[in-house]
Structure 1
């Protein structure tokens, strides 16, 4: 999948482009205006532009990424604040660059969970793009990262998560009460030969299968919630 099909038509870079950020804020206000003020939404948009702008490799698509990042953070904040409790459990995958293992794990879980789990990703020091090896490993199974991209770790996504899975990011991920934390000690994909990288993917699939089943089994049944 090329950049244009993933991100849409190219737009001007965000430098000195307050009008673009204002349009993004207006669109997000239509989605999140019941939960948050226009000022709060605009502040999130501006902060997301700053966080992503420093490391972006595709500046012409940066407005698209800013809108997606701000939307994800606001949705996470909605759940974390109890304004709209999520109907499904949230799982957050965190690695250092958010370009390798966390993205691979997220795509595998989305496929395996088929909507029964909300999947988030973040990095303690995110890079500018998803690693090509991740795309290759997913393509071998007919999958792709979808609209995902490397993004920094923020408090909202941690607070919204029911399960936080760390993949080699050390102590960078804040510990919040009431969350389940898992540390999956698997090798970094960079520098691995293809067979070793496939072994990491297969190990992730096994662990994800177990975790998804646990989360699905732990959900209350419809009769229990309505009775």
Structure 2
């Protein structure tokens, strides 16, 4: 088994447990080597900037699962017809997380959504969390993460929010650029208008995708 360096015993055990769960989920789709490569590379991406080491194996497992699901779609293992939308901003801490929250809340199982950042931050913007909580949507358990090639390739629609030239461009993808104020450093009162504009755009997007809004 591939091992990431400088891990505590608890972290090694947690990663091994995560690898077991991922192997069970993707049994018959991906082999052990691919699963462990994605898990450990995901761990390494968070390890360099995480302030909460104990949560690293959990974050790595969640991100590896998302990446493996994306790769499965790219390779044709998943053909459920559900549209996949990717929300990208700079830090993946505010706008793209609010968009992801609204999309998942309104679309339910009717579509798939992911988010990422060109320069992922360390935590979700507290004002964004509070503003979304006012609408009954909890994004506090989300985490800033990078975009990866397989995730972009798996998306049907890529929505960018302020990442400019840093956002990935792949031929044949549908791109939408949403000009939205960056909520970084702002209080809840100033974030609410951004939140409400994101909701409006998400509802319009779902209508375009022929995905009924649940709320």
Check whether TM > 0.5.
Answer: yes
Find the partner of 1:26 among 20, 33, 52.
Answer: 20
Residues 116-142 of structure 1 deviation map (CA, whole Å, 9 limit, x = unaligned): 221101111111211101111111111
Could you tell me which residue of structure 2 aligns to residue 63 of structure 1? 57
Residues 58-102 of structure 1 deviation map (CA, whole Å, 9 limit, x = unaligned): 211111111111111000110111121243101000111111100
Could you tell me which residue of structure 1 aligns to residue 95 of structure 2? 101
CA distance in 2, matches of 1:191, 1:28: 37
Could you tell me which residue of structure 2 aligns to residue 5 of structure 1? none
In the alignment, is the contact (CA less than 8 A) between 1:22 and 1:42 conserved in 2? no
Structure 2 CA distance for partners of 1:56 and 1:123, relative to 1, 3 Å = same
1:122 partner SS? strand
CA distance in 1, matches of 2:37, 2:110: 31
Query: Which region of structure 1 is more displaced relative to structure 2, 18-27 or 171-180?
Result: 18-27
1:115 partner SS? helix
RMSD: 1.8
Find the partner of 2:164 among 165, 170, 173.
Answer: 170
Gapped runs of 5+ residues in structure 1?
A: 1-13, 218-227
CA distance in 2, matches of 1:114, 1:25: 27
User: TM-score under structure 2 normalisation?
Assistant: 0.89
Aligned pairs (5 A) from 1:73-92: 73-92=67-86
Q: Report the count of equivalent residues.
A: 205
Question: Offset of 1:115 from its aligned partner?
Answer: 2.2
CA distance in 2, matches of 1:31, 1:114: 21
Gapped runs of 5+ residues in structure 2?
A: 1-5
Residues 137-196 of structure 1 deviation map (CA, whole Å, 9 limit, x = unaligned): 111111111642111110111011000000111122221222210000111002334333
